Amino acid sequence: MAKRRATFLCQECGAVYNRWMGKCEACGAWNSIVEEVGGGDASANMPAALRSPRSKGRVFALEGLEGETKEPPRTPAGIAELDRVTGGGFVRGSVILIGGDPGIGKSTLLMQASAALASAGRRVVYISGEEAVGQVRLRAERMGLGTSPVELAAQTNVEDIIATLSEGEVPALVVIDSIQTMWTDTVESAPGTVTQVRASAQHLIRYAKTSGAAVILVGHVTKDGQIAGPRVVEHMVDAVASFEGDSAHHFRILRAVKNRFGPTDEIGVFEMTGKGLAEVANPSALFLEGRDKAAPGTAVFAGMEGTRPLLVEIQALVAPTSLGTPRRAVVGWDPARLSMVVAVLEAHAGLKLGMHDIYLNVAGGMRVTEPACDLAAAAALVSSLSGAALPPDSVYFGELGLSGAVRPVAQAPTRMKEAAKLGFSTAVIPALRGEADGATPLRSNVIGHITELVAQIAARPRHRNAASG
């Protein structure tokens, strides 16, 4: 029999070592490595019956790619923004991990989803490991959901929870809030450790698969954006969604990160109100609220989030620096892309930005990941530097190449349609690819090279005191 070796596990990232160390080499965390009781490999946490070695494997039938496939049976929550992210509803027997900062509104959202399903006559069980039943009830009451037949419990032991769930009708939805508070008898580590989180999740996932109930696990996120501990859970579950937003703004975004049963680029937009989360059917209007149209340094970017177009305001501030090394700060966009856009403006359009502080902000706390934002960012930067406001009725999208060429991006017609709906009349964009030409709802101002954009902005009147360029 093989000798049992001790394993050491980083509690931050789940990296496995065969000796103790003060610092995790994988994630750089200090003092996070703990000896694992019961071995590091996942099978150690399985019940003995599953682990028992078999001398011979069982032969199973193989199937072809052709054949009957059924859409997985789904239970829509009835909250359109949530159903959009799950891909049309919770799939039976599937497990979703919802991560987010503490206080962002995970419990609120899931209580609303639970109440909606329960009111529609489905069995919903909400297990809170963080709050007492009274607290959960009080919040539900405040949101006007006090009469909905959600079954509540404040429990943390996974075996007890599964035993309770196994009685009576199989629930359509089980919410576990949160996975970090759960613990199982099968491992000895303390609750909240990677070992406990992983073993608890394993049990709950097995419960979902065998019973057919959809299970939602709530996971808290650490400051650097990782779902702490639950990172080791991410690959075990069927879908991972993150709930984002910052406390300074009232809206929240649910973003699918992984989804075995649906799209991964969809977002759901909510607004935190005094009565829980409200759906935002027209997020573009929300993100453009309170826009200062006459101010230099702002450009409206017509972006896409999954299948949905989304207009956001890109704000730039370019000002002469008082420091030896100019500051570059970005909120809501990739700092590496800003550096690239700045480099292209310097190299190809002759702008001198080396002695300027540059700040770029996506208004409203939205996070943009598309390279299509390059042109909008460039326009905002040039506008701020020259002190000339951009035309208020224009939207921008296009990817910037290192040569200064502006390259086409996907879904131009969808972006333009959304802009037209919100009252914009001009799209400052790269040349469209064939089929998109002609019947666009906006006037196109085609930019082939970054120098054309700079020349157009330079020709505009200066409104306010310009930063010297």
Find which of Mg ion, ligand TYD, none residue 100 binds, CB within 5 to 8 Å per kind.
ligand TYD
CB of 213 to ligand TYD, least distance (A): 21
Binding span for Mg ion by CB under 5 A among 16-24, 101-109, 220-228, 368-376? 101-109
Q: Which amino acid is at 432?
A: L
The CA distance from 79 to 251, in Å, is 16
Residue 232 interacts, among Mg ion, ligand TYD, none and using kind-specific CB cut-offs from 5 to 8 Å, with none
293 binds, among ligand TYD, Mg ion, none (CB under 5 to 8 A by kind): none
Q: Is the peptide bond before 200 cis (omega within 30 degrees of 0)?
A: no
Which among Mg ion, ligand TYD, none contacts residue 105 (Cβ within 5 to 8 A by kind)? ligand TYD
Identify whether the C-beta of residue 311 lies closer than 8 Å to the C-beta of residue 297: no
C-alpha to C-alpha distances, 441 to 225, 338, 390, 424, 438, nearest whole angstrom: 39, 30, 20, 10, 9
Contact (CB, 8 A) for 291 and 298: yes
Q: List contacts with ligand TYD (CB under 6 A).
A: 100, 102-108, 139, 142-143, 272, 274-276
Q: How far apart are CA 396 and CA 378, in angstroms?
A: 10
Find which of ligand TYD, Mg ion, none residue 274 binds, CB within 5 to 8 Å per kind. ligand TYD
> Residue 274 or residue 461: which is nearer to ligand TYD going by CB?
274
112 binding Mg ion? (CB under 5 A): no
Q: Which does 104 bind (CB under 5 to 8 A by kind): ligand TYD, Mg ion, none?
A: ligand TYD
The pair of structure tokens assigned to 34 is: 């703990």
Question: Min. distance of Cβ 249 from ligand TYD in angstroms?
Answer: 12
Helix 335-349, helix 374-386: angle, nearest 10: 60
Q: Which entry of Mg ion, ligand TYD, none binds 250, CB below 5 to 8 A by partner kind?
A: none
Near Mg ion by CB under 5 A, which window of 106-114, 237-245, 276-284, 335-343? 106-114
Q: Which residue, 109 or 158, has its beta carbon nearer to Mg ion?
A: 109
CB of 30 to ligand TYD, least distance (A): 26
- 276 contact choice in ligand TYD, Mg ion, none (CB below 5 to 8 Å, kind-dependent): ligand TYD
Residue 274 or 324 with smaller CB distance to ligand TYD: 274
**CA–CA gap between residue 231 and residue 127 (Å, rounded):** 21
Instruction: Tell me which of Mg ion, ligand TYD, none is bound by residue 327, counting a contact when its beta carbon lies within the kind-specific cut-off of 5 to 8 angstroms.
Output: none
Taking the least distance from each CB to ligand TYD, the nearer of 226 and 440 is 226
CB of 97 to ligand TYD, least distance (A): 13
Specify the residue, 218 or 373, whose C-beta has the smaller distance to ligand TYD. Answer: 218
Which of 100, 129 has the CB closer to ligand TYD?
100
Which of 107, 181, 189, 195 forms a contact with Mg ion (CB under 5 A)?
Answer: 107
Least distance in angstroms from the C-beta of 387 to Mg ion: 47
**Using the rule CB under 5 A, is 108 a contact of Mg ion?**
no
Of 218 and 366, nearer to Mg ion (C-beta) is 218
Minimal distance, residue 214 CB to ligand TYD, in Å: 19
Contact map string, positions 114 to 133, toward Mg ion, x by CB under 5 A: --------------------
User: Cβ 178 to Mg ion, closest distance in Å?
Assistant: 7
Shortest approach of ligand TYD to residue 193 CB, angstroms?
Answer: 20
Q: What is the Cα–Cα distance from 294 to 458, expressed in whole angstroms?
A: 16
Answer yes or no whether residue 315 interacts with Mg ion by CB under 5 A: no
CB of residue 130 to ligand TYD, shortest distance in Å:
8
> Minimum Å distance from CB 147 to ligand TYD?
16
What is the smallest separation between the CB atom of 273 and ligand TYD, expressed in angstroms?
A: 6
Task: Find which of ligand TYD, Mg ion, none residue 297 binds, CB within 5 to 8 Å per kind.
Answer: none
- What dihedral do alpha carbons 435, 441, 445, 446 form, nearest 10°? -10
74 versus 106: smaller Cβ distance to ligand TYD: 106
- Interface residue list for Mg ion (CB under 5 A): 107
